[in-house]
Amino acid sequence: MKDISIKKAAFINAAASYSCVILQLVANSWLAWLPGLTTSDFGIIAEVTFFTTFFTVVSNMGIGPAIIQDKTITRDEISDIFSFNFYVAIAVSALFFLLGGPIAAFLNNPVYIGICRMLSISLFFHTMNIIPHSMLLKEKKFVMIGLRMIVVTVASYGVAIAMVYMGFTYQALVWQAILFAFVSFVWNYATTRIRLKLTFKISSIKKIFSFSVFQMGYSIINYLSRSIDNVIIGKFIGEEGLGIYDKAYKLTLYPQNNLTNVITPTLHPILSEHQDDKKYIYEKYMNVVKVLSLLGMFIGFYFCFASREIITIMFSDKFALSVPCLTWLSLSIWAQVITASAQAIFQSAGNTKYMFVSGLFTLIMTVGAITAGALMGGIVKISFFLMIAFNVNFFVTYYILVKYTLGMSYLDFLKRFKPDVIIAAMVAAAGLLSCLIPVDRILVSMGLTYAATSLLSLVAGAFVKGCIMGAAYIAGLIIFKQHKVLIDILKSKRKK
């Protein structure tokens, strides 16, 4: 197996991830603009996705990361685990099929019966894909993973868009999920060729149990903390309100998923090779944290000040109520982007117990924020309190990670963000200034009528804000010599 540096692995993963995010943004915008899909349709899928993904997290049982972490596991033992996982996939998908009725009763909508039965198919293939995908990560086949991401994204969303044109509504989004899971599994299984057996040795399962049990616990509570808002909002506010909130929340996840997820999948396979050298892990990880901080900070403030333009351009004015939600949630993008990478370091250090503890705190904070927001008046208040919860969670999670897991100075960790905070203040001031520029009036003075340029004014406004805030950002990077951090991460060199 060839050795590969974090930089090169991240570069490979970035090429695929950013290709996929562009494709997903285009596809989701296309779907949102189509008259055949309503905000309620998106709300229906957002609500049922909570249950399907929860079952996927439970069925994982922490097995995937445990396979990556254990360097002594054999091919035959992996075959045993894969065979065990086959029976888990059957049981989990069958249970979800049967729970269609109770879920529909809980959500007060019989449409969920058919949706749950259909999505039990995707749940089966998602569960079966856990071991093949983990094997590709363990073997550091990042190019193969990236290629698969692009192909599956194009194929699944292409089918969904075609179905909407044919007259389907939320069913198109259901089939997108099924096709994505099926093609991903078939591709990965054909690549890894893991042997499936009718019987398996329980000793192979026990070998990874101590690591996987806390990993599973963390995965469950982490997922609940990230997704329980869908259930609460859908249940007490309604599907239309959920559809509006979900668009804003999903936008804030794009930076997290496509900054953090570029690097995080490569951290665990690489840094786990040094699990006994905590100082090495800390120093390598801090390079990653600085990059995520500098990028996440700018994106968060830009989303905040350009929320109206972003929402309307992306999803049309029927999602105008998503704007205040995005404004508040975007102020937590910085914290979310960095914190999402912590899981890989807990895993690399072999300490999933502390990871579980930090996840439990996150869940308590999130449920408290959502409950407070719901009691005080709806999706905007929920967004506000979630923003506070995500930022508080950053400080607590890294106190546990830096001080207790890696044994390093927490104060030293915080001091490294000093230039980031000053640059953030410069960007925020530029954002406030950009909001004072009357873009609409400038366009009218150029002889363009308002009716003909409403969309143009939005694009122009987003561009102007991006330029002004970008200029302040670049100036800050240069003044405080933080541009070297970003330049360095782009230099992909094979580890010596």
Of residues 300 and 268, the one with the higher pLDDT is 300
Distance between CA atoms of 346 and 341, rounded to whole angstroms?
Answer: 9
Task: Place 489 in a pLDDT band, splitting at 50, 70 and 90.
Answer: low
Q: Which two tokens stand for residue 153?
A: 């994204």
**pLDDT tens, residue by residue, 327-357:** 999 999 999 999 988 888 887 787 778 888 8
Contact 430, 467 (CB under 8 A): no
Most confidently modeled range among 14-18, 150-154, 276-280, 384-388: 384-388
Task: Place 384 in a pLDDT band, splitting at 50, 70 and 90.
Answer: very high
Of residues 401 and 200, the one with the higher pLDDT is 401
Q: Domain residue spans in the chain? A: 1-207, 229-496
**Closest listed residue to residue 43, CA positions, set 129, 107, 122:** 107
Query: Hey, what long-range contacts does 439-446 have (CB within 8 A, 24 or more apart)?
Result: 439/464
Mean pLDDT, residues 258-278 taken together: 69
**Closest listed residue to residue 383, CA positions, set 313, 316, 298, 322:** 322
Of residues 438 and 124, the one with the higher pLDDT is 124
**pLDDT tens, residue by residue, 447-465:** 665 544 477 888 888 999 9
Q: Is residue 411 pLDDT above 90, yes or no?
A: yes
Distances (CA, A) of 271 to 170, 209, 443: 42, 21, 53
pLDDT score at 13: 58
Instruction: Please report, rounded to a whole number, the percentage of residues in the chain having pLDDT higher than 90.
Output: 27
Distance between CA atoms of 485 and 92, rounded to whole angstroms?
Answer: 45
CA–chain centroid gap for 173, Å, is 19
H helix count then E strand count, the chain: 25, 0
Let me know if 288 is exposed, middle or buried by CB neighbors in 10 A (0-12, 13-18, 19+).
buried
Residues 6+ apart with CB under 8 A from 65: 134, 211, 212, 215, 268, 347, 352
pLDDT score at 257: 72
Task: Place 136 in a pLDDT band, splitting at 50, 70 and 90.
Answer: confident
Distance between CA atoms of 491 and 366, rounded to whole angstroms?
Answer: 38
Q: Is residue 10 pLDDT above 60, yes or no?
A: no
Q: How does the average pLDDT of the chain come out, rounded?
A: 82
Residues 6+ apart with CB under 8 A from 442: none
Q: Can you give the pTM of this predicted structure?
A: 0.68
Distance between CA atoms of 23 and 21, rounded to whole angstroms?
Answer: 5
Mean pLDDT, residues 287-302 taken together: 93
Task: Place 226 in a pLDDT band, splitting at 50, 70 and 90.
Answer: confident
Q: Is residue 263 pLDDT above 80, yes or no?
A: no
